[in-house]
Amino acid sequence: MSDDILRISNLSTQFFTSEGQVNAVDDFDLTIERGEVFGIVGESGSGKSVTALSIMDLVESPGEVTSGSIEYRNPTFADAMRESHPAAVEGEMVDLLAIPEEARRSLRGTSFSMIFQDPESSFNPSLTVGEQIAEAVEVQQRATPNPRSGEARTRGPEYSLRSYVMSMALPSKRYVSEESKAKAIELLKTVGIPDPAQRADEYPHEYSGGMLQRAMIAQALAGEPDILIADEPTTALDVTIQAQILDLLDDLQEETGMTILLITHNLGVVARMCDRVGVMYAGEIVERGTLEDVFDRSVHPYTEGLLGSVPDLEGTAERLRSIPGNVPSLLDHEMPDRCYFADRCPKAMEECLKKPPAYAAEGSANHTTKCYLAEMEYDPNQALENDALEREATATTDGGESQ
């Protein structure tokens, strides 16, 4: 039996701005197996973070998940949803986009949790770090997987409904219980914070960047999630601390067996952490496969460009190689009806201007790419002339105006 824990199909997330519709995530497909570390890599602006927010149901107005499905495997949750939302359940899988928002929200923290890019702006500066982690513990312990079932995830009198009502009725009684505070200290210890009991009483500004990132991981672990989404978890840190945080995530994954979706622009981080990888460009995955498939047998020229821009410490190159140009505008009326990478692609051919390529399997069914080169050999004689894209753009504009 397949052990897919997350199956995303044809996911599209759009932002409706005054300038027009922005297709931040476009027809996105992804399957993640239980216990694996899947990396999504790509430049800034390629849609990686919006994908993470879409999975977490955290896209805010003017953004909206407009189509697709996000199926999550959880037999208990599937049983709880089967009667009330039969169309959303298939076997042990539940389509999260076909159930009410409050039911999705009940999974946040306990099933899905997220480490955000910038820990300094993610913690409340007026509360101690320990209090904030304890709050996350408290919320998760009181969370109900199925809001209709009335079955609370309680683990003792400290988390009972009576205790919650008492804390609301008596202002002197703290919402955060002693049990949650103790758990917060334990979590700080798990992520390697020295003197966790003392550090729990300190405020975010008293922590270094690396320690705050560890504290954020502790907070994300509070609900013992099935899937941890780590969005650029090491971007703001120096290389030594980066390595420590990656080691920590590695150890936690090994100990708990949780599934990790790692979002990064850093291929070194992907190589160090991931089992499989998806390369994202202009809102879609353009190549995906195992590390070997993508690093050693890459097909898509964008993947090759990313790999080529990694500094070679042993080579003699004097300059770093870069991919010329920028990620295209994702405004709907500006997105061309051709391969989105064509105007930056050193291997673009006439074929690439006719229509966007679809996925084609390359080598194995699990190594797929959205590029015509998956089906044909690159022939330099077929390469586009330098001004072909300009001519194509002019023809499109003229055609549009004459209509």
Question: How far apart, in Å, do the first and last CA atoms of the chain sit?
Answer: 53
- Separation CA 284–CA 35 (nearest Å): 24
Q: Which is nearer to ligand SF4, 252 or 349 (by Cβ)?
A: 349
Contact region with ligand SF4 (CB under 6 A), list: 12-20, 109-117, 222-230, 349-357: 349-357
Given a contact cutoff of 8 angstroms between Cβ atoms, the answer to whether 220 and 243 are in contact is no
Residue 159 binds ligand SF4 (CB under 6 A): no
- Separation CA 238–CA 266 (nearest Å): 13
Residue 272 binds ligand SF4 (CB under 6 A): no
Residue 372 binds ligand SF4 (CB under 6 A): yes
Q: Which is nearer to ligand SF4, 39 or 357 (by Cβ)?
A: 357
Residue 254 DSSP SS3: helix
Q: Which is nearer to ligand SF4, 63 or 357 (by Cβ)?
A: 357
CB of 11 to ligand SF4, least distance (A): 21
Residue 339 binds ligand SF4 (CB under 6 A): yes
- Separation CA 160–CA 171 (nearest Å): 17
Pick from 258, 273, 348, 389: which binds ligand SF4 (CB under 6 A)?
348
Q: Is 94 exposed, middle or buried (0-12, 13-18, 19+ CB in 10 A)?
A: buried
Given a contact cutoff of 8 angstroms between Cβ atoms, the answer to whether 350 and 381 are in contact is no
Residue 193 burial (CB count, 10 A): 23
Contact region with ligand SF4 (CB under 6 A), list: 51-59, 67-75, 211-219, 334-342: 334-342
Q: Which is nearer to ligand SF4, 13 or 303 (by Cβ)?
A: 303
Token pair 């998956």 in the structure block, residue: 374
Pick from 341, 368, 389, 392: which binds ligand SF4 (CB under 6 A)?
341
> In terms of DSSP H, where are the helices of 125-258?
129-142, 161-169, 178-190, 196-199, 209-221, 239-256
- Separation CA 125–CA 386 (nearest Å): 54
Contact region with ligand SF4 (CB under 6 A), list: 130-138, 163-171, 227-235, 336-344: 336-344
Pick from 301, 303, 328, 330: which binds ligand SF4 (CB under 6 A)?
301
Pick from 273, 342, 362, 367: which binds ligand SF4 (CB under 6 A)?
342
CB of 184 to ligand SF4, least distance (A): 48
Token pair 């409340």 in the structure block, residue: 124
Residue 345 binds ligand SF4 (CB under 6 A): yes
Binders of ligand SF4 in range 7-26 (CB under 6 A)? none
Contact region with ligand SF4 (CB under 6 A), list: 98-106, 135-143, 248-256, 343-351: 343-351
Q: Which is nearer to ligand SF4, 168 or 358 (by Cβ)?
A: 358
Residue 357 binds ligand SF4 (CB under 6 A): yes
Residue 352 binds ligand SF4 (CB under 6 A): yes
Comparing CA positions, the residue from 27, 18, 94 lying closest to residue 66 is 27
CA angle 54, 59, 63 (to 5 degrees): 110
CB of 45 to ligand SF4, least distance (A): 17
- Separation CA 96–CA 224 (nearest Å): 19
Q: Which is nearer to ligand SF4, 123 or 372 (by Cβ)?
A: 372
Q: Which is nearer to ligand SF4, 217 or 349 (by Cβ)?
A: 349
Contact region with ligand SF4 (CB under 6 A), list: 86-94, 109-117, 169-177, 371-379: 371-379
Comparing CA positions, the residue from 274, 281, 250 lying closest to residue 357 is 281
Contacts 24+ apart (CB under 8 A), 334-337: 334/20, 335/23, 335/282, 336/393, 336/396
Q: What's the helix, strand, coil split of the chain in %, to 5?
A: 40, 20, 40
Pick from 97, 347, 389, 392: which binds ligand SF4 (CB under 6 A)?
347
CB of 297 to ligand SF4, least distance (A): 15
Residue 288 binds ligand SF4 (CB under 6 A): no
CB of 240 to ligand SF4, least distance (A): 37
Q: Given the rule CB under 6 A, which residues bind ligand SF4?
A: 300-301, 339, 341-342, 345, 347-349, 352, 357, 371-373
